[in-house]
Chains A and B, each alone.
Chain A
Amino acid sequence: DQQVKQNSPSLSVQEGRISILNCDYTNSMFDYFLWYKKYPAEGPTFLISISSIKDKNEDGRFTVFLNKSAKHLSLHIVPSQPGDSAVYFCAVRAGTALIFGKGTTLSVSS
């Protein structure tokens, strides 16, 4: 059973607008959450993370929100740029391993 779910396989946004990518997880014991971006033929690139003791973490255009009661996190990208077009993976840390969602393909049009 998928422990990390990204229910939207794809998202299309216009340049300059906000992109919101969502992720749900099943285990309330998970305590560290990450977002990775992946371009074709490259490895995942670390974007931003959040610990379960926080509900928000911001880094430039990227903000991650964590709702522990709902077991839900989201990544906001503001403003979106065409270069942000990629596959975004949500991940949770389990021991030393990462468990990934299936990814959301973001397309930002100019």
Chain B
Amino acid sequence: AAGVIQSPRHLIKEKRETATLKCYPIPRHDTVYWYQQGPGQDPQFLISFYEKMQSDKGSIPDRFSAQQFSDYHSELNMSSLELGDSALYFCASSPTPKGEQYFGPGTRLTVT
């Protein structure tokens, strides 16, 4: 069965650079979520989209923005990167806004 696809899987950036993470949800899933997992931490909710509109917002820094496109894929844009942004970034999708969330393999971002 098709799963959530995230790219790239690994990304190394320097401080103050920008990064763009991409997420392709499971076909026919119209809701996308972004989570950040720091080392030894639990995943923290950042933001979600339903039908290309932002539906919920968590602890997402102002330096980050995200959007969902007409084909339902989503991008997380991160600017002015800081060392503390180094983490695993997971995207998840669900068939409805309150359905079970299916996670992608994550993008490991390292900021040096």
Report A's interface with B, CB cutoff 8 A.
32, 34, 36, 41-46, 49, 89, 93, 95-103
Contacts and interface: CB of A to CB of B under 8 A. Distances in A.
Interface of B: 4, 31, 33, 35, 41-45, 48, 50, 55-56, 58, 90, 92, 97-98, 100-106
The 3 A-B pairs at the shortest CB distance, nearest first, are namely A43-B103, A97-B45, A100-B42
Given A34-B100, A97-B58, 7 more contacts: A42-B105, A43-B105, A46-B102, A96-B55, A98-B33, A98-B101, A100-B42
Interface of A is mostly: strand
Nearest to B41: A102
B42 A101 contact: yes
A45 to B, nearest CB: 7
Nearest to A102: B42
Given A96-B55, A96-B98, A89 B48 contact: no
B90 A44 contact: yes
A89 B106 contact: no
A42 B45 CA distance: 17
